[in-house]
Structure 1
Amino acid sequence: MLLPLDIQFFSDKTLYELKQAMATIGQQLKKVEGELSAKAIDPSASIEDIQAQQKSKEDLQARFNVIKQQHDELEAEQKAKFAQQQAMKQATIGHIEDPQQKVIAAKAELYRNTIRKQPISEEAMALLDDSTTGGNKFLPKTVSTQIITEPKAKNPLRGHSMHTQITNLEIPKLTYVLDDDDFIEDGATAKELKLTGDTVQFGRHKFKVKAEVSETVVNGTDVALVQSVDGALESGVAAKERKVAFATSPKAGEEHMSFYRTATATLPEIAKVQGATLFDAVTNAIADLHEDYRENAKVFMRFTDYLSIIKDLANGSATLFTAPPEQIIGKSVVFTDAAVKPVVGDFNYSHFNYDLNALYDTDKNISTGMHQFVVTAWFDHQIKLASAFRIAEVTPTP
């Protein structure tokens, strides 16, 4: 017979430990049953041996029954508790009237339950997976954040380049055609279309973004959790976009994404326009664009380069330092340190596309105790027409 101490010992165990104990004692019980059968049919075995083996089996069976009872009770208790939590969560989301708050609550459940390896409620998934919001819409979208964290990375191309989220996207390079083959007045564009074709096919290039979340944030408010995770993931995606678009040494397979790419047999490079000074190079690059692209052209350049232009033009006067950049350059200027050489062009021909699918996963950093919420996504950046852009370079000194 088991002592009360034994029963208390088993009741203090976790569900996992009880399962392990059941498996262990179950194996012992099976072994003893086999030995008992062997002794029962062995004429040389004494009745005392058989009785001892029978007593051993009864003790193990009693012990197994106690553990199983504790296991079943604890399992039922945990299932009931989880069902109650899910019901409360669904009731909470269901009673929220503000659609935006509903999405925040659903996202918070997604993040928390993914980190805790728990299933997501049907109501939350319905909010995150419908065709209008999408469970991964946050990937190509920047939202405001109020939580105080480190400065978020930004992609200056947002709002200038195109962003879509369409699987296997294929689009024409030009938005209109004429029945006359000679309707394209820009010779560079005509040559490029002849070389690369008149459509753009977007590929799938995988990358991962990790958001580190502390236990206090996970257990905090829905708004703080969603803003923290969304902000980190959006920063990672924006940083990836900026990195591939302005990479001077692109990774293998990502060469076509960079404005600074080098020409290949099927990939034209962006033409370089030079000038005696950086101001001359930028204005010459603007002028070198065909009028179809020049009208909507913008200049992406480093702020330090712009200051150098102002210092050269100001000649000791402070007037130009207060003038808007577009008055100095002649076109809208977007500052980014990633543009090691100014890029001039119509950025409607720069296009980021994301695959609709995204994979979620979590891990825990044992060293720091931080949870990592990981998203694996697929995207592509296509410069639809290289002839719509120019790179400004200062003429090398002889």
Structure 2
Amino acid sequence: MKKQVKLLKLGDFQFFGQKTLYELKQNLSTIGQQLQKTEGELAQKAIDPSASMEDIQALQKSKDDLKARFDVIKEQHDTMEAEQKAKFKQQAQQQKLGLGSVEDPQQKVVEAKAEMIKAVMKNKAIPNDVLQALGDDNSTGGGKFLPKTVSNDIIAEPLVKNKLREISTFTQITNLEIPKINFTLDNDDFISDKETAKELESSGDLVSFGRNKFKVFSGISETVLLGTNTAIVNHVENALQSGIAAKERKVAFVETPKTGEEHMSFYSTENAIKEVEGEDIFNAITNALDDLHEDYRDNATIVMKKSDYTKIVKELANGNATLYGAQPEQVLGYPVVFIDAAIKPIVGDFSYSHYNYDIATTQFERDKDVKTGIEQFVVTAWFDHQIKLKSAFRIAKVISTP
């Protein structure tokens, strides 16, 4: 059954169903003017001896009708006005409270991250409640330091994995300095591996982590910036996490490191990790494992390219399909991690591969790519990768044939 809409008609003015507050104010003003005019005419007719009772009664009826209409509209107006005032008051309180009005802790962090990103992109100061929601004690005033929660999420929980995170050591300690070996004995000759002993004698028994600066850029289009807070946070964090992982891999496996980053690469001449040869990849890896001291070999992992492993399987299988279904650890006897950046297989105890971030001084800023017009959310971070004991690793090298 079709719902009928109540229609009130007065001259050229019609009132259909629900009106806006502005329309109600206009209608109230119009009928009020009509009512005032009718009341004036009625007063004139009442004192006019020539006026008939029929005219006076007609004006009285018109006045009563307008008064009834006026009262109906005024009631609607007052009710709607009170509701809107209450709504505006609630919104003002929520804005004043900021993130305090968000009850879900996880959602509060998402909202806070989005507000931080928006503030950076607009070159505005980050509100204190946003910094507090992200775990920043605001001791710096929040002017240039990345809140700890955001820094931790980007650095400690990357979406795109650097697979070294599965086997290397990661910390976030400012000015970190640690011993190369976790325990000592009251005996100068307790180190059974001669290469380790020589290394400690030549380079000392402490590792001091430096601060190497790098920047990661996350392009943000206007569409993303105007989207939901969840979409903004996911977009920015995914991009930054991917950049962090890429940087970690690059410094560890680059053959020609940048000046000042030589100590971070397994392949650098500065680290001079011992190379062990073999006539093919399989023999080079097994020879390298055998060359490790047992203290390191017991916890060894093989890091290599997937394509190198495929060569091994093809050579060992010799037409037997069974080997293709075996786990790499079953084939090589040790855990295997595939990283395509590992141009030569590296074997060893990767707990001696140690990344440390100085997140207390991580900075953020905005930039614009003038070529594309895309805004960039930029994170500047400081980290270091130290190979604490070079003697804990070997590089497998295939003998080149003439």
TM-score, with structure 2 as normaliser: 0.72
**Residue number among 325, 328, 331 corresponding to 2:328 in the alignment:** 325
1:291 paired residue among 289, 294, 309 = 294
Conserved in 1, the CA contact under 8 Å of 2:94 and 2:101? no
Task: Measure, in 2, the Cα distance between the counterparts of 1:342 and 1:99.
Answer: 45
Secondary structure of the equivalent of 1:226? helix
In structure 2, what is the equivalent of residue 362 of structure 1? Answer: 366
User: What is aligned with 2:153?
Assistant: 138
SS of match in other structure, 2:377:
strand
Q: Which residue matches 2:14?
A: none
1:212 equivalent in alignment to 2:212: no
**Equivalent residue for 2:254?**
247
For 1:76, the equivalent position in structure 2 comes to none
Number of matched pairs: 303
| Deviations, residues 207-266 of structure 1 (Å, cap 9, x unaligned) | 111000111111111111111101111111111110000010111110000000114xxx
Report the CA distance shift for 1:125/1:87 in structure 2 as closer, same or farther (over 3 A). farther
Alignment match, 2:264? 257
Alpha-carbon separation, structure 2, partners of 1:142 and 1:364: 27
- Residues of 1 paired with 2:168 and 2:195: CA distance? 21
**Paired amino acid for 2:129:** E
Counterpart Cα distance in 1 of 2:301 and 2:169: 14
Distance in 1 separating the partners of 2:342 and 2:385: 16
8 Å contact 2:218–2:376 — kept in the other structure?
A: yes
Provide closer, same or farther for how the CA distance between residues 342 and 134 of structure 1 changes in structure 2, counting only shifts above 3 A: same
Instruction: Report the residue type matching 1:181 in the other structure.
Output: D
- Whether 1:376 aligns to 2:368 is no
Q: Displacement, 1:312?
A: 0.4
Q: Is the 8 A contact 1:127 1:133 kept in 2?
A: no
Equivalent residue number for residue 205 of structure 2 = 198
Alignment-derived partner of residue 222 in structure 1? 229
3-state DSSP class of the match of 1:238?
helix
Question: Which of 168, 171, 177 in structure 1 is aligned with 2:178?
Answer: 171
Q: SS of 2:343's equivalent?
A: coil
Aligned partner letter, 1:95: S
- Aligned residues: CA RMSD: 2.0
In the alignment, which residue of structure 2 is the partner of 1:116?
A: 122
SS of structure 2 residue aligned to 1:216: helix
Counterpart AA for 1:93:
L
Q: Are residue 98 (structure 1) and residue 104 (structure 2) matched?
A: yes
Q: 2: CA distance between counterparts of 1:86 and 1:170? A: 50
CA distance in 1, matches of 2:149, 2:92: 22
Query: Cα gap change, 1:251/1:275 in structure 2, threshold over 3 Å: closer, same or farther?
Result: same
Q: 1:313 to 1:198 in 2, by over 3 A?
A: same
| Closer/same/farther in 2, CA of residues 352 and 143 from structure 1, 3 Å limit | closer
Deviations 1:330-379 (A, max 9, x none): 11111111000001111100011111211111022233231100111111
Say which of 393, 396, 401 aligns to 1:392. 396
CA contact (8 A) 1:245 1:258 kept: yes
Contact 1:90/1:124 (CA < 8 Å) preserved in 2? no
Paired residues of 2:303 and 2:338 also in contact (CA < 8 A):
yes
Deviations 1:157-182 (A, max 9, x none): 11211111111110000000001011
Give yes or no for the alignment of 1:276 onto 2:262. Answer: no
Q: Post-superposition, which runs of at least 4 consecutive aligned residues in structure 1 deviate over 6 A?
A: 84-87
Letter in 1 for 2:125: P
How far apart are the structure 1 equivalents of 2:123 and 2:185?
57
- Letter in structure 2 aligned against 1:343: I
* Cα deviation, residue 292, structure 1: 1.1
SS in 1 for 2:185: coil
Opposite residue 301 of structure 2, the aligned amino acid is K
The answer for the alignment partner of 1:11 in structure 2 is none
Q: Is the 8 A contact 2:354 2:388 kept in 1?
A: yes
Structure 1 residues 336 and 211, CA, compared in 2 at 3 Å: closer, same or farther? Answer: same
How many angstroms does 1:101 deviate by? 1.8
2:111 is paired with a residue whose SS is: helix
1:310 is aligned, of 310, 313, 316, to 313
Q: Any stretches of 5+ residues in structure 1 without a counterpart?
A: 1-83, 145-151
Q: Which amino acid aligns with 1:250?
A: P
User: 1:317 & 1:358 partners in 2: Cα distance?
Assistant: 53
Could you tell me which amino acid in structure 2 is paired with residue 142 of structure 1? E
**Cα shift at 1:130:** 3.5
Is this contact kept in 1: 2:158–2:244, CA < 8 A? Answer: no
- Offset at residue 139 of structure 1 (A): 3.5
Distance 2:150 2:361 in 1: 9
Unaligned runs of 5+ in 2: 1-89, 138-146
- Per the TM alignment, residue 143 of structure 1 is displaced from its structure 2 partner at its CA by 4.7
1:237 aligns with 2:244: yes
Task: State the distance in 2 between where 1:86 and 1:252 align.
Answer: 55
Equivalent residues of 1:297, 1:331 under 8 A apart = yes
After TM superposition, the score normalised by the length of structure 1 is 0.73
Query: Residues 367 and 90 from structure 1, CA distance in 2 versus in 1: closer, same or farther, beyond 3 angstroms?
Result: farther
Structure 1 pair 243–90 and aligned structure 2 pair: CA distance change class (3 A): farther
Higher gyration radius (CA): 2
Native 8 Å contact 2:158 2:242 kept in 1 = no
